[in-house]
Chains A and B, each alone.
Chain A
Amino acid sequence: MKRITMLLTLTILTFGLTIVTKTAAQNVNEIMKKSHLAYYYAADDGVGDVTMTITDKRGKERVKEFIMLRIDEEDGGRQRYYTYFKKPSDISRLTFMVHKVPDGNDQRWIYVPSVDLIKPISADDKNSSFVGSHFSYEDVSGRHWTEDTHTLIGDSTINGTDVWVIESIPKKEQKGLARKLSYIAHDSYLPLLENYYNKKDKLVRVFRADRVEEIDGVVTMTTRSMENVKKGGKTVIEFSNIKYNTGLDKSIFTERYLKNPPRKYIK
């Protein structure tokens, strides 16, 4: 009798634990999914001016200004981006377009005005820098949450905001990245801080949401930065004039508009 009770208790305990663990796992994946959507899929479309300040390790600054247009086909799914460069002046009128395919290869085109040529380009988005900044293409367009195994490590606060601390380890071995620690806000689901570690578990890069504002009812990161701790240097991206749900036409995101920017949005 005693033995049966014990066996039963053990069985229940084991099951219980398994359920608890599973819930937590689902939970953490859910958080990461929500975070991804809040960060990259805010509203259905968006327009904004971007000032990108790249500071190299010697402290020298370079500024790039561009206008960015985005339209989502479905949340967490396909997206289109359109970028029109304004500064520096020698690349003004240069445009760039991305058709993001989360489960496939993104398509990118660039229009080079000096030779009046549209050229498809492709780059390894995980390691390639975006516009010469410290952000990679992936940092800008979003890394799909299913690519990593996530673990909830605990809770913390950043500038008074409660955050989850989540550790993400790539499922497929990735160059230069062994794990990432994300600090995701309870309220907005935006990542306020991300620490990237290499194989030697050295902190390599730090992402910060420097300013978060509510625009058109959407909590938006208006200033974000990426610092390369290992090599030095930092890129700050500031958004201004953000507008959501402006009813962008999907046809703008085609090759035709690369040569002839939509004057309605691009002034």
Chain B
Amino acid sequence: MKKGLTSFSIDHPWWVIGLAVVITAFFAMQFPKITIDTDPENMLAADEPVRIFEHQTKEDFGLSDFIAVGVVRETGAFTPQTLNRIYNITAEIEDIDGVVADDIIAPSTVDDIKQGDGGAMVVAALMEDEIETQDQADYILSRINLNPILNGKLASEDGRAVAIMIPIESKDMSHRIAVEIKIITEKYGGDEKFYIAGLPMAEDSFGAEMFSQMAYSAPAALLIIFLLLLMFFRKVRIILAPMIVAIMSVIWAMGLLILTGNTVHIMSSMIPIFLIPIAVLNSIHIISEFHDNYKKHKHKDATIRHSISELFLPMLFTSATTIAGFISLALTPIPPVQVFGIFVAFGILVAWFLSITLNPAIAMLIPAKTLHNFGADDENHGLLARLMNVFRNLSFRYSKSIVFASLAVVVVSAVGLSMIVVNDNPVRWFKKSHPIRIADTIMNQHLAGTYMNYLVIEGSDDDAVKDPDVQKYMETLQRELEKEEIVGAVSGLPDIVKKVRFELFGGDSTKAELPESQTEIAQMLFLFEMSGGDPDDLFKFVTPEYNKANLWVQLKAGDNMAVSQVVKRANDFIASNPPPNGVTVNWAGLPYINITWQHQMVTGMRRSLISSFVVVFIMMVALFRSFRWGFISMLPLTITIMAIYAFIGFIGKPYDMPVAVLSSLTLGLSIDFAIHFIQRLRTIHKRTANFRESYNEIFEGTGRAISRNVLVIAIGFVPMIFSTLVPYITVGSFFLAIMVVSGLVTLLLLPSIVRIFGNTLLPSTKATQHHTLGTKSKTQEQIS
């Protein structure tokens, strides 16, 4: 097959190129049909019980996702000027399309239950109109602080911060609405600072920024790779081929993804960034081989045939192992990750196919003149060659130290791995300096929290939650959860009942307790409605049938780890205090959804990593037809994964979605060098049949090709490190780390092992011709 395909390409280059262009055009034509999906909720399948429950809860209680606007004035936000500005800004926000105006929580929209004229009880807007005096402003703050439903949530107790919670019709509007809110707040000027935060906005804004980042990162990576290749090979025409292969693989994969009706999710937007380096890898090996051989053959046709046939097996296997790494993502229960894995795998297949067909076809079109003195410049004094000498010397002389050092790395890494902390928070996908991160920090410092979770109490019958036992249970649960540091506040129906009772008895604080009878509870709630309380406000906490109630759990942080801790506290409490009357307690809310898919992701990723590890090992044993070589080839990959993830454990960087997905990339990429190294070493050895010669030679062609790859991929992805989005920085850093670590391990540890077990691994059947090492020794002889 290999001879056939490549021969065909060499004999009919125009056919191959034409066909590739036509197919590429076909896939490129799919691009306009692209649909973009930035909702992390889609990390879970639509029929996932958590999501169904989430939607049910939202519908039951008429809940929306919130954008939180924080108004902070360090010298106090409760002044007539600031409050009036907030009043007017709120009024303008109400008019924004997509804002659920009736449910906005702001000083001018929330109700306060208070004593009116003549001892009357009244539920009325906290700030009914613009105010004039400082006394009025102070009064409003005092009312907020007296109201358990508003205290700390609507304003900080010291009055320096005010929150406006803006419910929106759908999450994918939040970025646009946030921008409109920003324009409004800027219009009013003033000396207070406005911050816009909230999980849905962070998620939506991330989606928006992600695509612009991708539009910059992928071409930037391509450009840098191009420049680096140009530096190595000096002929534009020759390095065009790998660039074309990379671009075409991306177009084919993305085109097919769109054609099959898949949406481009946060994950799949990263497909180009993952494909480009993998696609370029094989081509670099081919060109390197071509480059190093051309001076020998001086015949284009023969050099290409020779290069491809030398590289066919290793390329097939590097591609197959990388595909295995990515296809294993299909084992995770997370649809976008599955799509991502499958289409990256498809892209790799395309890249491999194009490398052995299109690459030679393009090479055939290069006029012999261009190739004049290609590869002729002596590489032996170049920086790479000097570096390869260093590696050869180090691994030959210090082979035992290197093996021990590697063992030490493994042991230390095991410690690091145990320190890995699984955590994620979409807000943290932005860098610390990003306005969203700043807003998040400031608002959660001052107020009860911008992360909204819901704890749904469900009884079997109507009126079940009016039961005093259930009310008491809810209240205890509220106080229990509030012990958790990140819980800013837990609000619920008991708060309203107690507040109404308190005001009913003319502000008697001893009466601010839950009634003992269901009738009284019902009448307190009815009194709330009769006094002017908006029933919709009530029904955010309870269904009109009173069969379900809803505790609003406001968190100051959206870190999955912290959310999990809150969830655990609730679960522990429920386990040791079973709810009365067969009532059930369940979680809803975006942070809860996030921890659910994170949990699935972590376990899924572990499974896919282990399974692809096993598959790759079997493939290696099959490729080398040797258990020993198979084992050795797994070392760079094992050490690379361990070292990188241990580093993550040591520095305390959370194991989040991007980090998890990168494990398959690490696996796929770090095996490559080992395959090339071992396969070529064995081929060389078959020819030389002499250990020393084989050992020296492997550091020439192959060593240089590997180090070129290390440099091209590592440096090519440096632009991603400059991104404003943390996952991109992570991906960029990973490429760099994978390349450097697996390159080092391949070029140091593998030869060291070969050196130590040389007699059995590569038995010499011919006498050594040179007595010392490599090219250097010749110069040495000349000197002496």
Contact = CB atoms under 8 A, between A and B. Distances in A.
Direct interface between A and B, CB < 8 A: yes
Residue of A54, A94, A105, A122 ringed by the most chain B CB atoms within 10 A: A122
A129 B532 CA distance: 6
Given A57-B62, A112-B523, A114-B523, A121 B530 contact: yes
B463 A90 contact: yes
A58 B59 CA distance: 8
B532 A117 contact: no
Interface in A127-170: 127-129, 131-133, 137
Interface string B513-541: 00101111011101101111111101100
A133 B535 CA distance: 8
B522 A128 contact: no
Interface in B257-279: none
Interface in A197-227: 199-200
A90 B522 contact: yes
Contacts of B543: 60
A111 B550 CA distance: 29
Interface in A51-94: 54, 56-58, 60, 62, 88, 90-91, 94
B61 to A, nearest CB: 10
A123 B120 CA distance: 9
A113 interface: yes
Nearest to A115: B520
- 3 smallest CB-CB distances across A and B, nearest first, come from A123-B532, A90-B522, A128-B532
20 contacts: A57-B62, A60-B545, A62-B545, A90-B466, A90-B522, A96-B530, A105-B117, A110-B527, A110-B531, A112-B524, A115-B520, A119-B120, A121-B527, A121-B530, A122-B116, A122-B121, A123-B123, A123-B531, A129-B532, A132-B538
B544 interface: yes
A124 interface: yes
B507 interface: no
Contact of A132 (B60, B102, B118, B529): B529
Contacts of A16: none
A109 to B, nearest CB: 9
B168 to A, nearest CB: 15
For the side of the interface on A, what is the size category?
35 or more
B119 interface: yes
A54 B339 CA distance: 47
A110 B530 contact: yes
A120 interface: yes
B124 A123 contact: yes
Interface of A: 54, 56-58, 60, 62, 88, 90-91, 94, 96, 105, 108, 110, 112-115, 117, 119-124, 127-129, 131-133, 137, 199-200, 231
Contact of B529 (A60, A105, A115, A131): A131
B95 interface: yes
Contacts of A199: 95
Contacts of B536: 231
Contact of A112 (B95, B120, B504): B504
Contacts of A129: 529, 532, 534-535
B122 interface: yes
Contacts of B532: 121-124, 127-129, 137
B121 A120 contact: yes
A94 B530 CA distance: 11
Given A110-B527, A124-B125, A131-B529, 19 more contacts: A58-B59, A60-B543, A91-B526, A94-B523, A108-B120, A112-B527, A114-B515, A117-B504, A117-B505, A119-B527, A121-B120, A121-B121, A123-B123, A123-B531, A123-B532, A124-B128, A128-B532, A128-B533, A129-B535
B544 A56 contact: yes
A229 B404 CA distance: 76
B531 A113 contact: no
A118 B453 CA distance: 38
Contacts of B122: 121-123
Interface in B446-463: 463
Contacts of B533: 128
Contacts of B524: 112
Nearest to A94: B523
A96 B523 CA distance: 12
Contacts of B517: 114
Nearest to B531: A121
Contacts of B535: 129, 132-133
Nearest to A85: B526
Contacts of B515: 114-115
Interface string B101-117: 01000000000000011
Contacts of B505: 117
Contacts of B527: 110, 112, 119, 121
Contacts of B62: 57
Contacts of B544: 54, 56, 60, 62
Contacts of A133: 535
A123 B545 CA distance: 24
Contact of A128 (B120, B123, B538): B123
A123 B117 CA distance: 11
B124 A124 contact: yes
Q: Which of B62, B118, B124, B535 has the most CB of A within 10 A?
A: B535
A196 to B, nearest CB: 14
B292 to A, nearest CB: 73
A60 B504 CA distance: 30
Nearest to B506: A119
A128 B128 CA distance: 13
Contacts of A57: 62
A115 to B, nearest CB: 6
A60 B119 CA distance: 36
Contact of A91 (B121, B523, B538): B523
Contacts of A124: 124-125, 128, 532
A52 B531 CA distance: 18
Most chain A CB neighbours (cut-off 10 Å) among B59, B128, B530, B532: B530
A11 to B, nearest CB: 46
A88 B116 CA distance: 28
Contacts of B530: 96, 110, 121, 123, 131
Contacts of A88: 522
B119 A115 contact: no
A108 B533 CA distance: 15
A117 B125 CA distance: 25
A132 B533 CA distance: 8
Contacts of B534: 128-129
Nearest to A120: B120
Contacts of A115: 504, 515, 520, 523
Nearest to A56: B544
Contacts of A128: 123, 531-534
Nearest to A123: B532
Contacts of B539: 56
Contacts of A137: 532
A114 B102 contact: no
Contact of B523 (A60, A90, A131): A90
Contacts of A110: 527, 530-531
B467 to A, nearest CB: 11
Contacts of B504: 112, 115, 117, 119
A18 B779 CA distance: 117
Pick from B62, B119, B532, B543 the residue with the most CB of A within 10 Å: B532
A88 B526 CA distance: 11
Contacts of A112: 504, 523-524, 527
Contacts of B119: 119-120
A132 to B, nearest CB: 4
Contact of B120 (A91, A122, A231): A122
B520 A114 contact: yes
Nearest to A199: B95
A255 to B, nearest CB: 13
Nearest to B518: A90
Given A119-B504, A120-B118, A129-B535, A113 B59 contact: no
A124 B122 CA distance: 8
B106 to A, nearest CB: 13
